[in-house]
Amino acid sequence: MDLPTLPFDRANVLELAPRMRELQADGPITRVRTATGDEAWLVTRYDEVKALFADPRLGRSHPRPQEAARV
């Protein structure tokens, strides 16, 4: 599967990347590939981001630290 890859190109650092706008229109959460090649979930909408930050099941610690991305 060909995933969108971060970072997205943008002409102006003060504006949202056009690809990000496309992903927001498609849905609030999408699978992406990071710059280091890892797969990740990108949350593109405010309400979903806010809900995730409030969810106690999520945290900063990686469940398998030895496999966590280093960059």
Query: Looking at this protein, which amino acid is placed at residue 65?
Result: P
Query: Looking at this protein, which amino acid is placed at residue 23?
Result: L
What pLDDT sits at residue 69?
Answer: 75
27 closest CA partner among 42, 9, 38, 10: 42
Q: Tokens 């990347």 appear where? A: 17
Confidence of residue 61 (pLDDT cuts 50, 70, 90): confident
Q: What is the pTM of this model?
A: 0.76
Handedness of CA 41, 35, 18, 10 (dihedral sign): positive
Q: Tell me the residue ranges of DSSP E strands in 1-71.
A: 29-33, 39-43
Q: What is the pLDDT of residues 2-58, one digit of tens each?
A: 999 999 999 999 999 999 999 999 999 999 999 999 999 999 999 999 999 999 888
